[in-house]
Amino acid sequence: MRLPPSKACPPHRAPFVTAPGTAAELSPTITTPAPETLTFPVSWLLEHASAPIRYRAITEVARLADPGPREVDWLPYSHRPAIKLAVTQTRDGMWNNSILSLPSRHSADFTNIGTIPAVRRLVECGWSPDSPPLVTARRLLFRLLAEDNDPAFTFELGTKTRDDDLVRRTRGLFREAAAATLAQCGYENDPRLRGAANADRASSSIPGKAASASTRSGIACSSRCASARRT
């Protein structure tokens, strides 16, 4: 029921406040601590580490202004395991006529290693993409980027009987691995490699076809590593 006018409650008014004038006043002040100093044992590595680690410590970690290229560039090519791996490459640019196979866990050498693990191993050892073994393997890796289902390029995963679904899946697997390897070698800006990433992205729009992100993530990660080496 209504109260008489004399007994009605007076209207309630909110207190006056001052609104922030800028976006900076709305944001809380966050104090960012200063980054901690990272100590890297370059001197110890140069005395005790293997040749590839010494080379990468100088060129990628310490980034010496003038490391003396003639005194440093030979280090990756003096590593005996890398030399042994390189000389086992065949004339067609492959290792053991396979793409992704790995040596057994009890193997003491590179027996049965596939082409992509071999290429990535040499790159990690500091070998230049323009070195003869990597140049020879480069042609095959770019061929694996092609959008086709040629059963001749299924290598160790191929079967004697024709299986179109297996061929398609194998070619897609090799295509992604080749794209990531080429990006690690420094070809992330090559149009053929970008085309493979765009094709993988476009496949996500096809109903019922799951698109793998390994090509894009491999290119992105390897691009950052390659850029770090060049700077």
Q: What tokens does 161 get?
A: 């009987």
Q: Are 52 and 124 within 8 A, CB to CB?
A: yes
Q: What tokens does 102 get?
A: 């790995």
Rounded CA gap, 152 and 112, in Å? Answer: 20
- At CA 162, angle to CA 158 and CA 167, rounded to 5? 50
Matching residue, tokens 């050892």: 125
Q: What is the pLDDT of residues 94-132, one digit of tens each?
A: 999 999 999 988 888 899 999 999 999 999 999 999 999
| pLDDT for 26 beyond 80 | no
State residue 228's pLDDT score: 47
State residue 31's pLDDT score: 76
| pLDDT for 8 beyond 50 | yes
State residue 109's pLDDT score: 85
Rounded CA gap, 189 and 72, in Å? Answer: 27
| pLDDT for 69 beyond 50 | yes
- At CA 133, angle to CA 128 and CA 137, rounded to 5? 105
| pLDDT for 84 beyond 50 | yes
Rounded CA gap, 78 and 220, in Å? Answer: 30
Q: Are 131 and 93 within 8 A, CB to CB?
A: no
Helix (H, G, I), strand (E, B) or coil at 121: helix
Q: What tokens does 143 get?
A: 């061929």
| pLDDT for 211 beyond 60 | no
